[in-house]
Amino acid sequence: MAEETNPMKDIEEKWKKYWEEEGIYKFNQKTRKKIYSVDTPPPTVSGRMHIGHAFSYSQSDFIVRFKRMMGNEVFYPFGTDDNGLPTERLVEKSKGVHAKDMPRKEFIKLCMEFLKEEIPKFIQDWKNIGISCDWNMKYSTIDDNSRKVAQWSFLDLYKKNRMYRKDAPAMWCPECRTGVAQVEVQDKEIDSFFNDILFKTGKEDLKIATTRPELLPACVAVFYHPEDKRYKKYQGKKAKVPLMDFEVPILEDKRVDMKKGTGIVMCCTFGDQTDMEWQKAYNLPIKIAISENGEMLPIAGKYKGMKIKEARKEIIKDLKEAGLLTNQTPIKHFVNVHERCGTEIEFVKSKQWFVKYLDLKEDLLKWGAELNWHPLFMKNRYDNWVKGLQWDWLISNQRYFGVPFPVWYCEKCGEVILAKESQLPVDPIKDKPPVSKCPKCKSEKIIPETDILNTWFTSSMSPKLAVENVKDEETKKKLFPMSLRPQAHEIISFWLFNTVVKSRLHFKKNPWKDVAISGFVTMKGEKMSKSKGNVISPQEVMEKFGADALRYWAASSKLGEDFDYQEKDLVTGKKLITKLINASRFIFMNLKDYKGEKPKKLEATDELFLNELNKLIEGVTEDFENYEYSLAKQKVDQFFWRDFCDNYLEIVKKRVYNGKGNEKISAQYALYNSLLTILKLFAPIIPFITEEIYQNNFKTFEKTKSIHICEWPKYQKKKKIDENEWNLMLEVISKIRQEKSNAKKPMNAQIILTITKEDNSSLKLFLEDLKSVANASEIKEGSFNVKFVE
């Protein structure tokens, strides 16, 4: 790429400013119009907008802009998700601090200050790509209103018996020191060893294969499969746990895989889910070897205080020395890790709050089916997720920066004391509980809950969060359920699912009518990710090609389809913009004396062309209605290049240069209106350049403040025109050009044209224009022939 300057930059700046100042996308609360409302998932504040955001948010914006031009009052707020663990990690990283090393208050203050500074920069990227939100309807999932809504949600669910607190094993991240929900856990393949370890039994030694020797101190039993003949003889016997000073029973259970390892497995409390099932089923003792910090507990004897990996190393060393380690097989296997930090998940017994929903699986499937999915196959993701749910929703995090639980406890009897609704938003650490004594035991010792609500608990309220900014009660009612939820497919199990859950539990209604799911941007077929190092920054793309080109690129792929990033697609977008500028320049050069009048009678060719345009409107409107913006784009694109620039403009060129009276006015009228229509049809996709051309040329006639609030072109049912005439015209022109090209003559070479009797009669109304575009001195009748005039 030779040239790096982007002429669109100033244009983009100018209109961005204009749109905000003029409130072009402002939501009118007193509206009488039909409302189209959009619940955009607030992006997590974590660095900068990535290309996937640009892709997905652009796609929603196409639809929104179309709906706005169609005459809907659009409610399109924008939020940022900026609380909880992700924000904490970002702050820790950017500021080089650790939350655990500083007072809670100070860390929270630091987070708030950081956000105040970062959020405007973060949001700027969305403004830069031309997202047509009402930026006055901005919310943050940590602002007072969001705290209030989240805490209200907690209280409401509590009252509906959907909230419970349990001291039980839960998934736990030793790095972040917090409980984690099923949705926050990911797979990661790691290198490990199968260690064959000897357990003494009094008879032959038992060889047990394990990847986690550090859990030996928590071993409570060993299992074999009931049909495994090798081990039948051990039934009812005991085995001595190596290095440890205790014995465990040898039991049989069907859940053992005979083919895996040595066919014998050790069961350690909380080793994994099966271990927990066994603990319950056989009423085994509970032994906890790992602390919440990921350190070995006193039960581990000499390994106490060591980190998990350190302990593993030491134990292996000691086993080797004692001759109890017979073999080590290197393996690769998948483990569960915390998605925020990549640390392996442990099961730790701790007190956590849960939303009860496992009992609702069937309802959840039903509710999901009530949404209009675009595309439909994405519903499978939702169903799949619901069917695979194994835990209730863990919503408490043992962290600092987030929405506090509106809860205190009686220290003596443990009674839960809820905040009053009128108190919200509340911080139990700072604020007083609504009662001075425990209502149950009358103790005066009341302590606050120090955990915070997981960030999804708040962001799943997004349809409510922004609506609170609307004051008009009548309008507010119309904003729920929302019309559309646009989002990418990887967060179906997060936001979409959680939001449906919340909405149904609180209001017994789905949060939205339609959902539109975007695909991924891929790089040579693979998902882009930082770890793979194949990330493209949208900021750089915009710098080079401009926002419209980026959006044009995002419009190339259908909803739900992954799209492979290739720079050439941006080049195509940029070219289109240039072409639009040039075509407009040409047209308005020839419209200087045009006052907007209608011709007395449209010339036949102009009428024919406008009829084609009319058909285009019909198709494009239908495509946008179906959320098929990529088909719409393709149609307008093709029409603009082929029908309009390459043919129609060439056909009428001379008529507007040299024509007189009605024949000229007819062409001018057609040019004015077709360009305006094309711009409008392009406007949802490339808002900047269409606005630029509109403002510079059309606004004096059209009056509307911005093309983006102009009326969408209407399809008009017209009297029948033979539709094949236009195509026939193009066909004949193409054949003439082919002849010229074959003869290596310039396109304006003068010719004598002969066309068939049939064509001649079909095109009889257009012969003058045909002569003009072909530069034919005369048109004869006969078999097709192009004769060059020297």
Partner RNA sequence: GGUCCAUUAGUCUAUCGGCUAGAACACCUCGUUUACACCGAGGAAGGAGAGGUUCGACUCCUCUAUGGACCACCA
Please choose, out of 84-92, 203-211, 712-720, 776-784, the segment that lies near RNA by the rule CB under 7 A.
Answer: 203-211
Nearer to RNA, 94 or 380 (CB): 380
Query: Cβ distance 484 to 449 under 8 Å?
Result: no
The structure tokens listed for 506 are 């609180």
Q: Measured from the CB of residue 584, what is the shortest distance to RNA in angstroms?
A: 8
686 contact partners, CB below 8 Å, separation of at least 6: 548, 551, 552, 573, 576, 577
- Please tell me what DSSP assigns to residue 495: I
Binding test (CB under 7 A) with RNA, winner from 70, 316, 631, 709: 631
Q: Which of 93, 109, 333, 598 binds RNA (CB under 7 A)?
A: 333
Q: Which is nearer to RNA, 237 or 579 (CB)?
A: 579
In the numeric block, which tokens belong to residue 740?
Answer: 């010229």
Beta-sheet pairing, 78-80 with 138-140: parallel
Residue 110 contacts RNA per CB under 7 A: no
Residue 737 interacts with RNA (CB under 7 A)?
yes
State which of residues 282, 480, 507, 641 lies at the interface with RNA (CB under 7 A).
Answer: 641
For residue 630, state whether it binds RNA (rule: CB under 7 A): yes
Side-chain-side CA neighbours of 247 within 13 Å: the count stands at: 12
Closest to RNA by CB, 75 vs 672, is: 672
Query: How many residues sit in the footprint of RNA (CB under 7 A)?
Result: 89
**Is residue 334 part of the contact set for RNA (CB under 7 A)?**
yes
- Residue number, 50 or 489, with CB nearest to RNA: 489
DSSP state of 557: S
Q: Which is nearer to RNA, 582 or 756 (CB)?
A: 582
In the Cβ-directed half-sphere of 451, how many Cα atoms lie within 13 Å?
22
Continuous segment of H or E residues that includes residue 185: strand 185-199
By CB under 7 A, what part of segment 219-258 binds RNA? 223, 255-257
Of residues 121, 160, 361, 585, which one binds RNA by CB under 7 A?
585
Contact 425, 148 (CB under 8 A): yes
Report the residue number, 225 or 464, with the smaller CB distance to RNA: 225
Q: Which residue, 33 or 255, is less far from RNA as judged by CB?
A: 255
Under the binding rule (CB under 7 A), the answer on residue 124 touching RNA is: no
CA distance 63 to 74: 11
Site for RNA in 166-185 (CB under 7 A): 182-183, 185
Q: Kindly report whether the peptide bond that precedes residue 242 is cis, defined as omega within 30 degrees of 0.
A: no
- 419, 148 contact by CB (below 8 A): no
Rounded to whole angstroms, how far apart are CA atoms 357 and 495? 16
CA R_g for the chain: 35
Q: Report the DSSP beta bridge partners of residue 348.
A: 170
Quickly list H helices, 468-625: 473-478, 497-507, 538-545, 547-554, 567-589, 604-625
Q: Mapping DSSP to helix (H, G, I), strand (E, B) and coil, where does residue 264 land?
A: strand
Residues in region 499-528 near RNA by CB under 7 A: 520, 522, 524-527
DSSP 715: P
Least Å distance, CB 242 to RNA, is 14
- Strands 446-448 and 407-410 turn out to be antiparallel
Kindly tell me which residue out of 29, 634, 673, 695 binds RNA, with binding defined by CB under 7 A.
Answer: 634
DSSP state of 153: H
Shortest distance (Å) from residue 132 CB to RNA: 25
User: Segment 1-30, which members bind RNA (CB under 7 A)?
Assistant: 3, 7
Residue closer to RNA, measured from CB, 390 or 700: 390
615 is an interface residue for RNA by CB under 7 A:
no
Q: Which is nearer to RNA, 431 or 490 (CB)?
A: 490
Residues 430-449 that bind RNA (CB under 7 A): none
Of 37 and 493, CB closest to RNA? 493
Figure out which of the listed residues 26, 238, 412, 558 binds RNA, where binding follows CB under 7 A: 558
Helices 104-128/84-95 angle, 10° precision: 100
Among 14, 653, 705, 787, binds RNA (CB under 7 A): 653
According to CB under 7 A, which one of 742, 764, 783, 790 is a site residue for RNA? 742
Interface with RNA, residue 279, by CB under 7 A: no
